[in-house]
Amino acid sequence: MPVQVIDLSGTPYQMGVAHGRLLRDEIHAFYRTRLGYSINEAAEVGVIHTEASILATARQHLVHFERDLPQVWAEFVGIAEGAGMDPARLYVTNGQTDLVDHLRIPSTATAVDRGCTAILVGGGRSSTGHALLAQTWDMHPDAEQFVRVFRRRPLAEDGTRPLPASLVLSTAGCLSLTGISASGVGMGTNDLKPDDARDGLMYLALIHNALAQADLGSAVAAIRDARRASGHNYLFAGDRSIVNLEATAAEYELFQSENEIYAHGNHYLTPRFAVRDQMDMSQSTSPTRCARVDALLAEKGDAPLGPADLWAYLANREDGENSICRINHPDVTTCAAVVLSPATGEMWATAGDALQNEAIVLRLRD
């Protein structure tokens, strides 16, 4: 379905307040949805939580957020104030996947993947000559209604100096999920389930902060060196370079290239992390989705890939319920799809899946 595009400008706090006021009702509804999923997902592995215990855990994470990422924190607090919501509740809305990883402790039961598929294309393999990034965002089906695109034009706190603008796809009340910045950086992410989740910085805050950096190297370092709350796979694209940072809460592995293609799902590819993966691989769709990407790339051979090719991959349904494009699945479905060209400042996006919905082309500088 067409995705709503929201323009925000001002200091981070001012943008946050405007965001929160505009989407107040949606933010409160999304919180109720995510709270329910947090309670249920912990219960699935035998750990019982209430709203009070979940909010107490969220407040442990907020200590790191306020201390380590003050500029992002200002925007986050603005969203909370604009929406009339306690920051701990907004944290549940933003950081649910990281929070659930923490809530599952001390259980050693394995988790079921909630699924995303992502592809990085180095400039040397791209038909445009620039690096490209594509991904699905697969989540519980009722998350799709909250998908939004935000075009951000931030100013420094004194209101005079512009900061790097960004064009991001996310959800009501939430920081950046995937997007591009005026610094020529694009980012995406896949959820992972390591065994070392802890109180720390949630992934949306980390991505938001990385997109505010001056260049690709600084964006990578901003996540590499942070106290991460849990594991994620972070994908970066610059002018021609691509970088993949596969991380647990405390460790990471980097891949970088200009002339290769890299695909990732929801299981660890780094051998030393695979033994720490909490994903139930007998139920996970991730290996099937990754194998399908490999097969599609093999069919393409050495021919360059463009945005239309990547969109077609995101729409692939050859594996039924286990496909890259997941439609009407009761537990998890494709709630959004994007292709990013950070060098040209372009985003192809939709709320919902890439098969039944046409991409709209958005530009950072519109």
What is the SS3 assignment for the chain? Answer: CCCEEEEEEECHHHHHHHHHHHCHHHHHHHHHHHHHHHHHHHHHCCCCCCHHHHHHHHHHHHHHHHHHCHHHHHHHHHHHHHHCCCHHHHHHHHCHHHHHHHHCCCCCCCECCCCCCEEEECHHHECCCCCEEEEEEEECHHHHHHEEEEEEEEECCCCCCECCCEEEEEECCCCCCEEEECCCCEEEEEECCCCCCCCCECHHHHHHHHHCCCCHHHHHHHHHCCCECCCEEEEEECCCCEEEEEECCCCEEEEEECCCEEEECCCCCCHHHHCCCCECCCCCCHHHHHHHHHHHHHHHCCCCECHHHHHHHHCCCCCHHHCCCCCCCCCCEEEEEEEEECCCCEEEEEECCCCCCCCEEEECCC
**Mean residue pLDDT across the chain:** 95
pLDDT of 127 reads 98
Binning pLDDT at 50, 70 and 90, where does residue 30 land? Answer: very high
Q: By percentage, how much of the chain surpasses pLDDT 70? A: 98
pLDDT, average across residues 188-196? 95
pLDDT of 106 reads 75
pLDDT of 209 reads 99
**101-124 confidence digits (pLDDT tens):** 898 877 766 776 667 999 999 999
**294-343 confidence digits (pLDDT tens):** 999 999 999 999 999 999 999 999 999 999 999 988 889 999 999 999 99
pLDDT of 108 reads 67
Those residues with Cβ within 8 angstroms of residue 358's Cβ, 6 or more apart along the chain or in another chain: 350
pLDDT of 158 reads 84
- 10-103 and 118-363, same CATH topology: no
Say which range, 120-134, 175-189, 210-224, 271-285, has the weakest mean pLDDT. 271-285
pLDDT, average across residues 274-278? 90
Binning pLDDT at 50, 70 and 90, where does residue 189 land? Answer: very high
Say which range, 1-5, 49-53, 112-116, has the weakest mean pLDDT. 112-116
pLDDT, average across residues 215-242? 98
Bridge partners of residue 232, in order along the sequence:
191, 247
pLDDT of 231 higher than 90: yes
pLDDT of 249 higher than 80: yes
In this structure, the number of other CB atoms found within 10 A of the CB of residue 13 comes to 19
pLDDT of 109 reads 66
Task: Specify the CATH number for 10-103; select among 3.10.620, 3.40.50, 1.20.120, 1.10.10.
Answer: 1.10.10
Domain boundaries, given as residue ranges, for the chain: 10-103, 118-363
pLDDT of 283 reads 83
pLDDT of 112 reads 64
**336-366 confidence digits (pLDDT tens):** 999 999 999 999 999 999 999 999 999 998 7
- Residue 261's Cβ-side half-sphere holds a number of Cα atoms within 13 Å equal to 23
**137-158 confidence digits (pLDDT tens):** 999 999 999 999 999 999 998 8
- Give the C-alpha separation, 99 to 108, whole Å: 16
pLDDT of 227 reads 99
pLDDT, average across residues 87-109? 89
For the domain made up of 118-363, give the CATH fold.
Penicillin V Acylase; Chain A (3.60.60)
**Are residues 350 and 3 in contact, defined by beta-carbon separation less than 8 angstroms?**
yes
Q: By percentage, how much of the chain surpasses pLDDT 90? A: 86
**From the centroid of its chain, how far is CA 325?**
17
Handedness of CA 200, 264, 253, 277 (dihedral sign): positive
In this structure, the number of other CB atoms found within 10 A of the CB of residue 336 comes to 30
pLDDT of 115 reads 75
| pTM confidence score | 0.97
